[in-house]
Structure 1
Amino acid sequence: MNMLRAISIAFAFFVTTGTISVASDQIPVSARMTTDLAGRSAQIAVPSVFRVLCSSKNRGGTGFLHKSGRIITAAHVISGCQPSDIIIVGVSGKPVHVTNILKDVHKDLALLVPNETMHGSSLKINSADKITIGSQVSTWGYPAGYHGRAPLLSSGYLSGLDQVKSPAGNPIPRWVVNAAFNGGNSGGPLLEIEEGTVIGVVSSKLAPMPQHIEKALAALKQSKNITQFIRTHPDGTKEKVSTANVVEEVLQYLRSQTQLVIGYAVLSSDLRNFLRDQSIDP
């Protein structure tokens, strides 16, 4: 009995001292963050970025103040909305109504004309056409589910350049950004951190889907009977699939994509051309 007690005490001492020894041998690998991820835009971005709401479509996004006094946003944020449907809300919480909309759906850009003067410093649009890949970038916006007054900061890196198809099927260049873009961030400014200038407009989040998932969603949308439909496999065999089966399949796929943090942004060159098309000096 005494021997068992002695062994227990020795084992406890070994575990305790062993734990302390291991802890003392560990070297922290974290380092103090020395880069200001908000960059030079921090002081002016908060009062110059707005929540854009369309009541008729129950849809929301982000916009930012241009020196012309208009609000720049993404065209898809206000798609199908009339000026009377749209309100702009800034950090003050005061809703501002819109009198007119100017947009280019192919570039996915829009200008909102407020019915009163918008207070805040406008964000400067970068005049350069070439931005270094790997540059740190940030955006401010109002992602879905966030109800605070001030826009939220998201930061990342400029990863590359890609092309997407416009509604007319034409290739449109887009910045590829490694950052957390979420629903509601669309229309927000993409800022180059060092200069604090706008190099793009947040447009979308990259979320590719396999063809069979796209077909499943299309079948759900077109089906007259929401209970079940027939799915044809690549080998030609047919399968009767319930709505629940499809929803489970889609959710499983979305689950596998949660680690993907890549988004698209309209180029500043397209933004400058869009403003010139509206007879506005960028």
Structure 2
Amino acid sequence: MDKHHKINIEYAKKLGLKSALVYQYVKDMNSDTKLHTIIEEFPYLSNEDVGNSIKSLVEQGLIEFNDDNQIITLSSTIQKTKIRTPISNRSNKIDKSWSPSEDAVEVLQRAGVDAEFIDGLLDEFIIYWSERSSTLVSYNSKFIEYCRLKWAQHTAEIDTKSVPRIIDKNWAPSEDCLDIIKMTGIDDAFVRLHLPEFILYWKEDGRAFVSWDIKFLDFIKNKWNYNVEVTSKEHTYKFDLFDPYADDEDKSKKSTKGNIKDLRKKYKI
């Protein structure tokens, strides 16, 4: 990751690493902090990790959480009666009447996404998450990511007038494409490293597509997931480079063949 977060060792010892990261960030901001901002700031922490950290910090009286506007502040800066932990005992499954916050809509509109386009995606987004077993602390950041991906697909089709094109040797992903990739937690260095491979592959393939951004998004996400999987299982791969029993099996086969040949000769079979 290209972001670096400092952490107080004493905080880490007392609060745990994840809670210490969140607390240090809120403290350094020294102002009201949106929940979705914290989620986006720490892409390597799951929504559950962030939620549990905030809950723990609230219970210890270090921060306060306003559930109405999803704002986190240091303790004693807002009225206690308005505070409620973001993670409660009840399920945080998406509600059928859910809608994005004003801040989420503002982020999308600043990115150039039409208001009608945002409204048009709301129903399918709710259906998708209502059918999933997993739950989230906040659906706003997921909705932003979802809308921007769909908008990138939509604008790519308009820009090219639905005419497929062969990839150019100097092709590069658009800013929208790169923003979406960053939101998934993939760093710029990883993208730059694998871009030449992507161009070379499709240059040799020769097929044409309406949007190369969409192809690149799929490619880089698959590469990232594969890289994470290989890294986590790296210790098992060194045993797959060769078969340690191959030589013994070959010798055994040769020995067996020799014995049979000798027996046939001896008994004139």
- Structures share fold, TM-score greater than 0.5: no
Provide the TM-score with structure 2 as the length reference.
Answer: 0.26
Higher relative CO (Cα under 8 Å, sequence separation at least 6) belongs to 1
The structure where helix makes up a greater share of residues is: 2
